[in-house]
Amino acid sequence: MQSSQAPARPANAPARNVVVVGTQWGDEGKGKVVDWLTDHAAAVVRFQGGHNAGHTLVINGKKTALQLIPSGIMREGVACYIGNGVVVDPTHLLSEIERLEAAGLNVRSRLFISESCPLILPFHVEVDKAREALRETSGSGKIGTTGKGIGPAYEDKVARRALRVQDLKHPDRFAKKLRELLDLHNFALVGYLKGTALEFQPIFDQAMKAAEQILPMLADVGVQIHGHNVAGGSVLFEGAQGTLLDIDHGTYPYVTSSNCVAGNAAAGSGVGPDKLHYILGITKAYTTRVGSGPFPTELDWETPDTVGYHLSTVGQERGTVTGRARRCGWLDAAALKRSVLINGISGLCITKLDVLDGLKEINVCTGYLLNGQRVDILPLDADEIVACEPIYETFPGWEGTTFGITEWDKLPANARAYLERVQAFIGAPIDMVSTGPDRDHTILLRHPYKG
């Protein structure tokens, strides 16, 4: 571990921190890009979300899926932090650690957890599932959550009644708070959600058992990140979900329960916003969405021999966490315009370009018709988004394959023209392109860590 007393690097090589965020509805390929960048990072930090995330890394053909543990864990020597903005399910955390250890990774010496993280406990999962069932039967429609208890855990945090990781240090305090919280949730579960009450003792025993293993990993995350920077080490902030799933800026209420935007990398890990030096937006070359909610450029992705089916099957668009099929559609550059603004994007990485190989024509949405008027940026009201008719610009496809290409000049001319037009339209530079799932299937135009 680097200490804040370590000598600073020379002024010509200052630490530089990079934030990686999804610019769409998640699953843009953040895990792959974070892993690629970690050869320049001393530490990787998760700052929001929980194990609703599913980040897939492919290293030398071997696939690893991470949910709660930062993607830096795949590189020896990189420290991994779970910041205060993350909701932690202790049982899940341990099972994910054990899965990685079984694959031969040394996790516990490199993983550090903020004691301020709110806990996800079994009643959060029950409430999440029961609420979804109620929304379905009442006709208001499911959100399509991952069923991991994320929303109810964040609600307890904001209501100032959450059990936090730090409560695991004090069994009596934990028991008292748990009794009160469980009473409240059982009242709602039985009386309103028509579910079954949960018992105190198994939840308490399970948490105390997990505590023995979790407490040695606690750390003052903000201070540690500062220490890395002082010692000249660069840090990578790994976003989960995507901007259009953000609780404030997304397609509310069809969103997750945290702020997924770059600004939250500071609040969710305990560093100042001046420490976020470069914001890398990850953008899939088309669009996908898991769960319910408006999606203007959605195609029919279930009928064979359609473009949507091509995206779904060639892109292997199936959720990492729930196994659900992801809805697929064209790239929505008008929605990206909003993401670029909200995140303060420094540069973009366009992923899964190879999935567009073989298409005759490629559409990009550059605005919408809403009540007969043209709008150029995704509206803020979900009902208005439902009413939006996308306006497309059409590009010719390209011959041959882009799969695995590592140099910009080797891309087909039509692929370059497509990317250049997207870049001009949304007003943010494309600094990287991903042409396959493997770490090495990457084109670099401007390195986020080198500027």
* Residue of 27, 156, 246, 438 with catalytic role: 27
Would residue 60 be called left, alpha or beta, if left means φ above 0 and alpha means ψ between -120 and 50 degrees? left
436 binds ligand GDP (CB under 6 A): yes
Helices within 139-216 (DSSP H only):
150-158, 171-191, 200-214
Find which of ligand IMO, ligand GDP, Mg ion, none residue 338 binds, CB within 5 to 8 Å per kind.
none
CA 208 to chain centre: 29
Kindly tell me which residue out of 15, 44, 47, 54 binds ligand IMO, with binding defined by CB under 6 A. Answer: 54
Kindly tell me which residue out of 17, 31, 185, 287 binds ligand GDP, with binding defined by CB under 6 A. Answer: 31
Binding mask 45-74 for Mg ion (x = CB under 5 A): ---------x--------------------
366 binds ligand IMO (CB under 6 A): no
| 3-state helix vs strand vs coil in the chain, percent to 5 | 35, 20, 45
Kindly tell me which residue out of 30, 148, 157, 327 binds ligand GDP, with binding defined by CB under 6 A. Answer: 30
Number of residues in contact with ligand GDP under rule CB under 6 A = 22
* Residue of 148, 157, 185, 284 with catalytic role: 157
Residues 286-325 that bind ligand GDP (CB under 6 A): 320
26 binds ligand IMO (CB under 6 A): yes
| Burial grade of 203 (CB within 10 A; 0-12, 13-18, 19 or more) | middle
Which stretch, 25-33, 270-278, 304-312, 359-367, contacts ligand GDP (CB under 6 A)?
25-33
352 is in an annotated binding site: yes
Smallest distance, ligand GDP to C-beta of residue 436, A: 5
SS3 321: coil
Asked if 27 is an active-site residue, the reply is yes
Two tokens, residue 57? 């890394």
Which stretch, 41-49, 54-62, 227-235, 389-397, contacts ligand GDP (CB under 6 A)?
54-62
CB-CB contact of 382 with 315 (8 Å): no
Task: Say how far apart CA 221 and CA 168 lie, in whole Å.
Answer: 17
Find which of Mg ion, ligand IMO, ligand GDP, none residue 257 binds, CB within 5 to 8 Å per kind.
ligand IMO
Q: Long-range contacts: 303-307, Cβ < 8 Å, 24+?
A: 307/359
CB-CB contact of 206 with 186 (8 Å): no
Asked if 157 is an active-site residue, the reply is yes
Buried b (16+ CB within 10 A) or exposed e, 408-441: eeebbeebeebbeebbebbebebbbbbbbbbbeb
What lies within 8 Å, CB to CB, of 234 at 6+ separation is 15, 16, 17, 18, 40, 41, 42, 228, 449
434 is in an annotated binding site: yes
CA 200 to chain centre: 32
CB-CB contact of 314 with 305 (8 Å): no
145 binds ligand IMO (CB under 6 A): yes
291 binds Mg ion (CB under 5 A): no
Smallest distance, ligand GDP to C-beta of residue 131, A: 24
Asked if 55 is an active-site residue, the reply is yes
List, as residue ranges, the binding site. Answer: 26-32, 52-56, 146, 160, 241, 256, 320-326, 352-354, 434-436
Would you please indicate which residues are annotated as catalytic (active-site) residues?
A: 27, 55, 157
Binding site for ligand GDP (CB under 6 A): 22, 26-32, 54-56, 58, 320, 351-352, 354-355, 434-437, 441
